Structure 1
Amino acid sequence: MAKKNIQELEWGEIEWIYEPESENSQNAMNIGIVTIYPNSSQNKHIHYGDEQVLYVLSGVGKQLIGDKISHIQAGSLHHIEVGSIHETINLGDEPIKELLISIPVHRDQNLPIPRKTQSMIVEGSLSENRVTVNEEIGYIYNGIIELLKIPVAIFDEEGNTVITGRYYPELCREKCGIEENVKKCPIYQMRDEYTPPYYSDPSAYVCPYGLTIFIMPIVFDNRVIGLIKGGHIRTSQIDMHINQYTQIKKNILGEAAYAAMHIVPKGTVNAILQQIKKLSKNIANYYLFKNTAVALNKQEEIIQDIVRNESILEESLKTAKDKALNIQIGNHFLFNTLNAIAGLAVKEKADKTYEAIIDLSKLMRYTLKNNSYFVYLQEEVEYLKNYINLQQLRYGNRLKVYFNVSGDTSRKKIPFNCLQPIVENCFIHGFKNMKEGMEIRITAEMQEDKLTLQIMDNGRGMDSDLQNYVYDKLQEDKKQGFSGLMMVYEKLDLLFEGQFTFLIESELGLGTRVTISLPDKVSSMDSQ
């Protein structure tokens, strides 16, 4: 790396020598060199989102993992499971250096954002991206945290208090005076961000009085813009080994305020973590919408929507998913109706009607059950045949459809539903006013390192002016008209980011041919 990426911490530093190129990268591993200064130690903490391996390069000390303490020396290897409390202690006069390998245990699988969209968001960002107090943030906070009745505070990236929180336990009020100033909490004072930069999950620290406090970063545009800290709970994991933790005050178990606190079960701990992660995500989503609104000159309208309530924000972020769910719910009734009609057709011996209903049902089930971005070509061809069967009810023997799909292409993967809209165009535009002799030819073959798909009809075709008009429409940001072609082209552009070919050839009175070429390294997914 040309420029060193070093995190400076109270106890030392981490130089990240390998990181994923972006948050959408398939490579999840982070590698760093950890340096712990002489006679220093990390704060005891827990990572809930990553598994770690430490290989000691030099130095001596102790390594606490769970309830076990082992000695550190050059060549020793230490494995830290997800959710294990751990601490490295330097007992020598020389720095401890460790090779750290950190791997997230889960990563959200989202459709990659096209580069042009990413750059639009960055260019349209506000000059100051940090968590600040306003009605929207307060509304999001209250909607999630107030239900838990636990203390949670929010800080900006510089450590300034944004929201102080409430419901601090008597132990915190008595020992730290936290109600006077939340920064009197020793964990709230800490500036120890021990997290690789390309993913974010909560960590947990144990305070000097034996309480567990969670820390969750708020990440926007690959940068930490704030921190959520809270919890202040008593757990069985700490109680069982409390005497092994040197930083915990002695005889804390005998303190009345500590003893009065109930031990929070693991299930409740997980629920608290989920709500804190949800708060972080919703705040980050709020800033994403706010900055995108600036780029689109619609800031006022979007902020007004966010102010109304959090549900509108979530609905805006998941519009596509909600629409798909509504369609599924509505079609549940439709499927039952189709089954009833099919049963009636069998009783009345209306074979063609029965076959048409079955073809229609297969079309709808294929569309609704498939939640993948890519499908096998043979599945897409079967879907296409069901659609053509329905069209032949109308055209009968006047329509001939030929498939020529080579065997080496059937297990290639292509974008879901990228052929049917083009075939539909043949009927809507190509065969308009034709009464007989209609033909469609559909081919798939490998040409060098490309999967080539062709759909050709013998319809009325287009002159050069109309072809140029169609191409111009394909290149426009706001695509209107020619909806079948536009939907397919936009889907290919979203998934392949320009690494594909979409060619339309047509001659007036002779027909139209659409050719799609996809890179084999993307479309060949036989092992998945």
Structure 2
Amino acid sequence: MDHQKMDWGYVKWFIPPQGSGLQGKVTIGVSSVDPGVEQKPHIHYGNAQFLYVLKGKGFCCVNGNKKTLKPGEYYYVPANSEHQTINTGTAPILELVVSVPVQWQTGEWTETNPVASPLEEAIRFLDLESLVEQGFPILITDADDHILLFGPDFPACFLHRYNADTKDTRCQGWTDTARIGEQQCSCGTILYHIPILENGTEIGWIHGAFQGESGGDCGKSSKATLSRSTATGIEEFLLQIAEGLSEYVKYQKMRSRLSANEEMIRTQDSDIERMSDSLLQEKKRSTDLRINHHFLFNILNHFASLALTGERNDLYEGIIDLSTMLRASSQPVEKLVTLQEELDFVAIYLRLQKRRYQDGMRVIVEIDAAHRKQSVPFNFMQPIIENAFAYGFMEYDGDKEIYICSHTEDDRFVLTIKNNGVPVDMVTINRLNQELHKKTGHGLNLIYEKLQLAYGSDFTMKIGVKEGFTRVQIAIPRSAV
């Protein structure tokens, strides 16, 4: 355990073992808010949090919404949300804290602006303007300290380096001697300076200015502090942006050189293919599904119960299964895997759900040996099954049943996944089927996009209800076995 002292109490962070697959994916700890203490409102930049109250009583506020806290209560804090805990009792408030760094995704392709610099074009391509509009306090400059992007939430007192008109409000914390990494400012703001590199050469900087929980007004000396999970989320997020900008600049410069020289185009075909494939893989990674937050938080909530009741063996086995899923879902995979490999991955997920529902859950798989050799995209079944638990079983008190079966129709391989939970009404069914092709970022839409990347238009995906079962049916080309 790693003990972090805060002005309102402390957090004991769980340090995952090396090779567990949890590093950078999830941060888990127990926070303690002292009696009578009112936390300063603060923002969880770069990470979403789930908190489960173990002991104590009081209130929490998330984006102005107040909630009563008592043992057994839990709440969710979205990324970049203002959050505050108020202890009204005579004992500390103890909470299980689970933090998940947000996954940064690139925007859609836009035409190149020949007037803009490669770094400016990269900012537009990655849609970073929308990021600052959402309140993320960053400033991006080129190697000559010219401002390329900043939003209204970036503190004006730091702009004196770039604009002489702000010199009356300049902050003394930003110096030229400590530009890489984290830096404390006397006004209570924590600064991050991340270089943007092209083949080892500095082409720009990403600067982040984040208010600490104990920071004061500009000019007042105070020690700023961020929770370990928030600090980790910020750093990982900024590093992802810097890497994305760097890769895009390198791609654009190569593209420009190849366009200017036909002979180079003929001799560098392999490089073009490699770079195009790299961008396609980035597209696939942006649509590849991460484990659903609801599932992750529910499982960790169950783990917290096991820890409190002393059921160590179940807790250990559950953590091993969760670690296996996290590691498998974050590994690069080939375009297609066998259906048997996909079923093995889904089996780990279903094992975790079985720990929650015990004998109240059944899984029936009716797929013959030949069909198990069918080629399918990796991790396209688990989000469909997760939908059954998140919606069909949410208000269903009976035994929960999941059916997975397959058959063939001419040159089509047809896979059906159905559940006996509360059936979806026909109005919702029609809306879901009509909106499957839209890029909303929701689970079923991402599955549709994953199938589209694998098969183009040569597939179908339909949601329906038959004999009281809600089902998703997917038809894809039969593969040679």
* Bin of the TM-score, shorter chain as denominator length: 0.3 to 0.5
- TM-score relative to the length of structure 2: 0.40
Structure number, greater radius of gyration: 1
- TM-score relative to the length of structure 1: 0.36
